[in-house]
Amino acid sequence: MDFEFTEEQKQIRALAREFAQKEIAPLAAEYDARGEFPRATIRQMGELGLMGIEIPTEYGGAGLDTLCYALALEEISKADAAHGTIMSVNNSLFCYGLYKYGAEAQKQKYLAPVASGKKIGAYSLTEPQSGSDAGNMRTMAVADGDSYVINGRKSWVTSGPVADFIILFAMVQPALKHKGTSAFMIDTTQPGFERGKVEPKLGIRASATCEIAYDNYRVPASERVGQDGDGFKIAMSILDAGRIGIAAQALGIAQAAFEASVKYAKEREAFGSKIGEFQAIQWMLADMATRIQAARLLVYNAALKKMRGEKYTRDASMAKLYASETAMWVTTKAIQVHGGIGYSKELPLERYFRDAKITEIYEGTSEIQRLVIARETLKQFS
């Protein structure tokens, strides 16, 4: 692996870091407390090219590579993981998916506004009865002349409460199970689209999540993404890309908690010494640093494989699994290093801890990542 970053990679990382620390970090606690979607900063991120990093400039994106995306997402998430979630869904689950599988007319119509951050994109696969078992969806899209009529209920739609456009997965031929699914581009202003319950979440509270009901929503066949029957594979392949993003987000959360812990260990005194002089604290810092470095290498490895056009399903799952478990572990230990004040809302440690948890759950739980890694590994050695 070559870790000599290009000028572009260094520049986007510096730009994201500066914006995140100056504009996002000071507001993160307030947005979290209010559970408010941060429209103004998301719009600014769009203007900076952070909402469609890998999308070519002719479609409104920044025309950069996957490593640029991972570096920028880590920096944004280090300031606030909720901004990281919104950025990651917009970039990977919507823009990347549409860029890879959408028809030219769909790209012209939907990609430019979303990649430039003027509009918000979302992805909708999960249903109340089908989370990990994503193929078991019941939302139906019934062909009717030159359109489809969609009925059903989706859940856990990240950015659902504010999304302008959604890439939706629905069942067209239930008898064929996952081979009977298709993907559709949904315009949330059309009749039959109804936003439901907004989820009251533990963490990433500034990122909005809700249920969505489709009640005889009519979508023209020209808005189907890919062919009938391709839906599940499109959903899975988009998630491969998305998992690199979530891994980078987890890395950002872990890095923030780690840096705060190092600073505190050098300042706080107990028993006549700085606590950083005690081995009990040193070992926690050493393990944090080591796990974060390992997670970072896995993220870069997955990003590089994607950039080279190699299959990266296993690598993305490894990066997501390891980085998310690292974020949870590091944020737990970071509170321990801080003691009582780490448990208080006066510091962002408890927010990092709450935010880290979701990275082990969405875009595939840690159990699903292990399943994917095991299946891909067994295939590799067969």
- Residues forming the active site: 363
Q: Is 89 in the site for ligand CAA (CB under 6 A)?
A: yes
Q: Which of 9, 116, 158, 182 binds ligand CAA (CB under 6 A)?
A: 158
181 is a contact residue toward ligand CAA (CB under 6 A): no
Q: How far is the CB of 237 from ligand CAA (least distance, A)?
A: 4
Paired tokens of 336: 């321990």
Report if residue 134 touches ligand CAA, rule: CB under 6 A.
yes
Q: Nearest approach, Cβ of 265 to ligand CAA (angstroms)?
A: 34
Does position 96 interact with ligand CAA (CB under 6 A)? The reply is no
Is 370 near ligand CAA (CB under 6 A)?
Answer: no
If binding is defined by CB under 6 A, does position 123 make contact with ligand CAA?
A: yes
| Shortest distance (Å) from residue 228 CB to ligand CAA | 14
The verdict on 163 binding ligand CAA (CB under 6 A) reads no
By CB under 6 A, which span of 22-30, 59-67, 121-129, 325-333 interacts with ligand CAA? 121-129
Query: What would the x/- binding string for ligand CAA be over residues 218 to 257, using CB under 6 A?
Result: --------------xx--xx-xx-----------------
**169 versus 258: smaller Cβ distance to ligand CAA:** 169
Least Å distance between CB 54 and ligand CAA? 17
153 forms part of the interface with ligand CAA (CB under 6 A): no
Q: Do residues 146 and 195 touch, judged by C-beta distance below 8 A? A: no
Q: Which residues bind ligand CAA (CB under 6 A)?
A: 89, 123, 125-126, 132, 134-135, 156-158, 178-179, 232-233, 236-237, 239-240, 313, 362-364, 368, 371-372
